[in-house]
Amino acid sequence: MKVLVPVKRVLDYNLKVRVKPDQSGVDLSNLKMSMNPFCEIAVEEAVRLKEKGAATEIVAVSIGPDQAQETIRTALAMGADRGILVKADAEMEPLAVAKILEAVVAEEAPGLVILGKQAIDDDSNQTGQMLAALLDWPQATFASQITLDGGKATVVREVDGGLQTVAVELPAVVTTDLRLNEPRYASLPNIMKAKKKPIDLKTPADYGVDAAPRLQVVKVTEPPKRQGGAKVKTVDELVDKLKNEAGVL
């Protein structure tokens, strides 16, 4: 079975985001970019499925600028077999991404699409769901465990207040949550081997997708500055404040 793993290039998770002075977005100039952490988890899961013999080929696809090739290389170094870069310099909205992925799926015919539940840049949490709808495939989002058995996937989902287990027929779309796995470090020999793995170059036009934005960003602002805390003298005072001021006890 072929597994398709979409991966996104985002601002490195260790860095602090700065809002542009004109509030049109965040400033990405000269900052380190990396693979979205949820996408890393998706790649890791696909590689584990391949190691277990449940998957035969892993295709990593990224939609973004030329440098998104680096993100694909990271996936290849972790164990993906080949890559597809759909080159798009403009910011891509989830719907456009989902439509491009729909076309990639039509071409590649994977048995499973695993992708991050959201990207840490805009936190949309939409692409997987939109893709499933466009394909009319079953979806299992926020996965913390995936088991493949015959033609179906049993997925444990992280939902508010607990875990939910669902079974979906394959082919299906699964989105990853934080606790699905701990992604491996790409080893140095595998980084070298990844150089030799192929990456196909495409454009949205190749798939006949109109990627024009449908949303307009009105403004982006910093979160409010944290208010200074207060010191208490005794445990009793703390309990009193928790009860009567914060109302949490």
Partner 1 sequence: MALDAQTRAEFIAAVRRFVEERLRPLEAQVADEDAVPEEVVADMKALGLYGLSIPEEYGGLGLSMEDECLVAMELGRCSPAFRSCFGTNVGIGSQGLVMFGTPEQKAHYLPGIASGEIVTSFALTEPEAGSDSGSVRTQAIWNGEHYVLKGSKRYITNANKASLFTVMARTNPDVKGGGGVSAFLVPRSSPGLSVGKPEKKMGQQGAHICDVHFDDVRVGPELRLGAEGEGFKVAMQVLDRGRLHIASVCVGVAQRLIEEIIAYAGARKQFGQPLANFQMVQAQMADCKTEAYAARCMALDAARRRDAGDNVVLECSASKLYASEMVGRVADRAVQIFGGAGYVADYGIERFYRDVRIFRIYEGASEIQRLIIAREMMKQGV
> Which residues would be at the binding site for partner 1 (CB under 8 A)?
70, 73-74, 77, 185-189, 191-192, 195
Residue 5 tokens, joined: 């793993």
**CB nearer partner 1, residue 2 or residue 87:** 87
- Scanning the chain, the segments in alpha helix (DSSP H) are 37-51, 68-78, 94-108, 127-135, 188-194, 235-244
Shortest Cβ 28–partner 1 spacing (Å): 18
Which lies closer to partner 1 via its Cβ, residue 189 or residue 228? 189
Q: Cβ 40 to partner 1, closest distance in Å? A: 11
Q: How far is the CB of 77 from partner 1 (least distance, A)?
A: 7
Buried b (16+ CB within 10 A) or exposed e, 16-27: eeeeeeeeeeee
Which residue, 54 or 77, has its beta carbon nearer to partner 1? 77
Pairwise CA distance, residues 26 & 40, whole Å? 23
Residue carrying structure tokens 């020999």: 189
Return all residues near 43 (Cβ < 8 A) that are at least 6 apart: 5, 7, 35, 58, 60, 75, 78, 79, 80, 183
Nearer to partner 1, 179 or 243 (CB): 179
Give the nearer residue to partner 1 in terms of CB position, either 182 or 236: 182
Least distance in angstroms from the C-beta of 189 to partner 1: 5
In sign, the C-alpha dihedral spanning 187, 178, 168, 102 is: negative
Which of 163/192 has CB closer to partner 1? 192
Tell the smallest beta-carbon distance from residue 160 to partner 1 (Å).
Answer: 30
CB 177 within 8 A of CB 61: no
- Pairing label, strands 2-6, 9-11: unpaired
The dihedrals phi and psi of 119, each to the nearest 5 degrees, come to -105, 145
* Least distance between partner 1 and beta carbon 46 (Å): 19
- Smallest gap from residue 81 Cβ to partner 1 (A): 18
Terminal Cα distance for the chain, rounded: 52
Residue 57's Cα: distance from chain center in Å?
Answer: 20
Closer residue to partner 1, CB minimum distance, 189 or 198: 189
